[in-house]
Each structure stands twice: as C-alpha cells, then as structure tokens.
Amino acid sequence: MNGETVEDLFARYGPAYRWLVTSAGLIGAFAMVFSATVVNVAVPSVMGAFGVGQDQAQWMATAFLATMTASQLLNAWMVAAFGQRLAFGITLSIFIVGTMFSGFAPNMDVLIFGRILQGCAAGVIQPLVMVTMFQVFPADRRGLAMGIYGTGVVIAPAIGPAIGGIAIDMFSWRHIFFMPLPFCVVAFFLGSIFMPSKGRSSDPLPKFDWVGYALLCAALVLLLSASANGPRYGWTSDRILGMAVLGTLAAVAFVVTQLRGRAPLLDMTLFRNPRFAAALLVAFVFGAGNFASSYVIPVFVQAVQGYTATKAGLVLMPAGLLLVLTLPFTGRLSDHVPDHVPIMLGLVCFAIGAGLMVDSDVNTGFYTFALFAMISRFGLAFIIPSLSAAALRALPPEQLNRGSGNVNFIRQLGGACGVNLIVVWLQQRTHFHSEVLTATQTAANGTSEAFLGAVSAELAQAGLPPDVQMPFALDYLGKVVYAQASTMGFQDAFLMLALVFLLALFPAWLLGRARRTHEADAPEGGAAAVPGPARATASRG
C-alpha cells in the first residue's frame, strides 16, 4: 500500500480535509486528556477503597503525567518509523489496554500500572495531533489552529470532573476509567482514514536512543518517588537520599547522552534558539501551576468543604466552559499581537484567581469558589494558544516534530513535578500547622477549655457517663485541630500556586525580548517567515 501524504489527502478531500483530520486528532486527544483530569475527583474515593494516604493516591495523577512526559519524546521516532496514521492507531490501542488495567485494578499497584500505560499513549498522541494540525493550516492561521487544538483538549477538563463526579456518586470510581472508550473507538476509525500514512517501506527503523530513554525514565521515577516519599520516610533517610542521588545521576547521564548522541531524544540545538528556550521556560512553570491547581482544587473542596464528588466536579465546570468559549478568540488574537503579551496577561489572571483562593475555608460559598476558579481559568485562555504558537513559530518546518515533542515534554515535566511537589508541600504545611495548633492546646488556653466544657455538656445531655465525656471531648478537639490545620495547608498550597504563576512572568518577558531581538537581527523579508510545506497549504483554502 502506498502512503498518503498531506498533499494527497488535500487533493482527495479538498479544503475540508484540514477539518476532517483535525476532528480525528482532537477526538483522540480529548479521550486522553479527559482521562488525565477526571481522576482528580476520585482521589478521596480511591484513598478509601484501597486504604492509602494522599502520598500514594496522588500517583494516579503523577504516574500518568510522568510517563506522558517521557513518551513525548517517542513521538518523533514513532512518526518516522510508522507514519502518523499507524502511530495514531498504536497509541490508541495502548491507551485502551491501560484503561482496562485501571478500571479493573484489584489494588493500587495495578491501578498505577494502568495509568502508566495510559500516560505513555497520551504523551505520544498530543504532539502528533498538534503537529498534524500545524501542517494542514496555513501560516497566517496557525494561531487559530492552536486555539482550536487548545479548545479541543480543554473541553475534557472542563466537563470531565463533573461527569466523573456524577459517575462516582451514581456508580463507583471505577466507571470513570471506562468513559473515554467510545471516543477512542471513534478516533481510531477516523484516524485510519484521514491521518497521513507512511505506507510500506523496506527501510530499516530509524535509530532511537533507548539508553537515553531508559535514563530519563529512571530519573523521573527516582526523583519523583524521592520527593513523594520524603515526608513518610524522612528527607535524610538512607532510602530517600539513595533515590535522590541515583535519580540525579541518571538525569545528568541523560543530558550527557543527549549532547553526545547521534540521534538524541531531545535536540539540544533547539535550546540555542532564544525564543524557543524562553517559551520552554514558560511552558515548564505553566505546566507545574496548571496541573497542580487542577489536582488540588477538587481534593480541597471534598476534604475541607465536604463536597460530594459531583459537586466537586461542578465547581470547576463554569471555569472550564469559560475557557472553552474564550479560546477560539484568544487563539485568533495570538495571530495579531506579540506572543508574550497574552501570555503575561494570562499568568496575571491565573495568579489573581489562585491568590483569591488563599482565604478559602469551610465557609466559602460554592459560587464564590467557582468564581475564583473562573478567574484563573480565564487566564489559561490567553496562555495556551500563544505559548504553543510562540514555540513552534520559532522553528523551521524540519524541526517541528522534535520541537513540538520538546515543548510538550517540558510542559508535562512541569505538570508531573507540580502535582508531586504540591502534594508534598500540602503534607508538610498541614503537619506544620497541626503541630503549631496542637502546641497551643494547653490548660492556659481559655478558648479550648471553654470548647471542651461545651462539648462535655453536650455529651452529658446525650447520656454519656462522666468518665468518658472528657476523652470524647478531647478526641473531638483533636479532629477540629486537624481540620483547621488541613485548611491552612490548602491555603498555603493556593498561595504557592499564585507565586509560581507570578514567577513565570519573568521568562514570559524574556520571550518578548527574544522575539524583538530575533526580528531586529532578521534579514529583510524573511527571517520571521516560516518556510516549507505549511506555507504551501495556504493556497488550498
């Protein structure tokens, strides 16, 4: 069978082809992003089902993100080896297998293994879809294309938590893993028709740096495990120090192999491009804050405010829908204004939204918290299309596959680190506030004494004997102290998120400065232009 290139498919389907292949890619990407975000409302349910703590339950999200991060770098090799159509089908098949493992998992280890398979597939398919869309849209509409891509992938987190919460409350947490399956089937069918194909070839498979890939995976697992388990085993324990040292050595070895290898996973020459390097720095910080907030908000409203899984999902839905409605306009805007302007505006909006959450507690109203989430997600609408377009516009066509892999790799790396570190920060701050509050519960604390007296009186009215009234009252006081400490820990987490997005303003400013320098140094008439196949598609409508 002969391969079908983008030009062949344009000739067959006409200008409508770009929308046909966009639909196929976005449905597949939607299914995987849906699976990435829907599990956040299931964290308390999984903790109860398997009897695990927050440090273990967070691996549902972290394992997915970590493997998705590593597999970003498989995208260019898989496209070169199998072509976009076959690579698309393979990744969807792996995702379906991972879904089965996760949905039928008898314990936490099997669930995490299923999430690893799902993340591996998601990491390949997202840059594949992004590059395909970038190729089929003309140069002057690529901002729009990235806006459409962003809209497609953010619909999932917009409605996913709410749908997942309903499924959990009506059925069980296991059902959330099966919901993406219909989308996978549809995407598989459409992709087998509209994705460009390589066709049969007698050429050997392209070289792949399996040693570098193994070092990357080892570094991610060891370093993320060290940070996640630090609070449990102690930061200076032999186990944690050993993992940290080995993880660091693996990371250093990975960088060395990429600098010296003939077929590196990460093309380090791209980092010499100031615009691209600045975009990557923004992408890392953005990924950390975005994924961390998407994780911590559903857990907060269930653990502190006592929301059901359904209500926890609904509190995020207005923000997600606002993001979906806004992205097409901000995507078009990114074609007409310097990229760093909407990026910086979005970072400020997100920081404001996270900052307003700092004072949230059990008394914060549903609509008030939903408004805070809407402010932060409104900022994402400005960041997503401009950041993707800024990075890819800085590269020539022959570097788009590797460049998109690098961008997604860095953003997902930030996401994996962000979720991991926000959970560690939450545990540390909750423990800190718990110790501080416990230390104040002495006989000299008149407020606590009055509280104990009031609880003892209530217990006496309920008929409990005097010798058990005070132990019960003390136990209840301990629960109240921990609940307050937990609230303060979440408040510190929201403050940290706000600071992270404010810090990202600096690399965003560097992105604008690098753009101005690039334009000043460019020869008249062409440096900023992007040559290659994508320009030719402009004539196809």
pLDDT of residue 440: 78
Least reliable range by pLDDT among 166-170, 486-490, 535-539: 535-539
Per the CB < 8 A criterion, the answer to whether 29 and 196 are in contact is: no
Based on the fold, state whether residues 271 and 258 are members of the same structural domain. no
Q: Where residue 405 sits, what CATH number does that domain have?
A: 1.20.1250.20
Number of domains making up the chain: 2
Q: Which helix (H) or strand (E) holds 441?
A: none
- pTM score of the predicted model: 0.76
Question: pLDDT category, 532, cuts 50, 70, 90?
Answer: very low
Q: Which residue, 241, 262, 283, sits at the end of a domain? A: 262
Whole-angstrom distance, CA of residue 360 vs CA of residue 353: 12
Based on the fold, state whether residues 96 and 114 are members of the same structural domain. yes
**% of the chain exceeding 90 in pLDDT:** 13
Based on the fold, state whether residues 258 and 283 are members of the same structural domain. no
Q: Within 137-236, where are the H helices?
A: 142-170, 181-194, 210-233
Q: Which of 353, 55, 54, 308 is nearest to 162 (CA)?
A: 308
Least reliable range by pLDDT among 63-72, 121-130, 500-509, 524-533: 524-533
Q: Which tops the pLDDT comparison, 487 or 465? A: 487
Whole-angstrom distance, CA of residue 495 vs CA of residue 492: 5
Mean pLDDT over 311-327 rounds to 83
Based on the fold, state whether residues 237 and 289 are members of the same structural domain. no
DSSP code for 270? G
Residue 525 pLDDT > 60: no
Q: What is the pLDDT of residues 260-297, one digit of tens each?
A: 877 777 777 787 787 788 888 888 888 888 888 888 88
Residue 447 falls inside a structural domain = no
Residue 541 pLDDT > 60: no
Based on the fold, state whether residues 234 and 124 are members of the same structural domain. no
Based on the fold, state whether residues 322 and 236 are members of the same structural domain. no
Q: Which residue, 223, 238, 262, sits at the end of a domain? A: 262
Based on the fold, state whether residues 152 and 45 are members of the same structural domain. yes
Residue 97 pLDDT > 90: yes
pLDDT of residue 454: 79
Based on the fold, state whether residues 216 and 318 are members of the same structural domain. no
Based on the fold, state whether residues 224 and 307 are members of the same structural domain. no
Residue 470 falls inside a structural domain = no
pLDDT of residue 538: 36
Residue 319 falls inside a structural domain = yes
Based on the fold, state whether residues 237 and 351 are members of the same structural domain. no
Residue 441 falls inside a structural domain = no
Q: What is the pLDDT of residues 257-269, one digit of tens each?
A: 888 877 777 777 7
Q: Provide the residue range defining the domain that includes 214.
A: 209-262
Based on the fold, state whether residues 389 and 340 are members of the same structural domain. yes
Residue 473 falls inside a structural domain = no
Residue 472 falls inside a structural domain = no
Residue 459 falls inside a structural domain = no
Q: Which residue, 246, 262, 278, sits at the end of a domain? A: 262
pLDDT of residue 184: 92
Residue 456 falls inside a structural domain = no
Based on the fold, state whether residues 314 and 353 are members of the same structural domain. yes
How distant is the alpha carbon of residue 155 from its chain centre?
A: 14
Q: Which helix (H) or strand (E) holds 20?
A: helix 17-38
First to last CA, the chain: 29
Residues 6 or more apart whose Cβ sits within 8 Å of residue 178: 99, 103
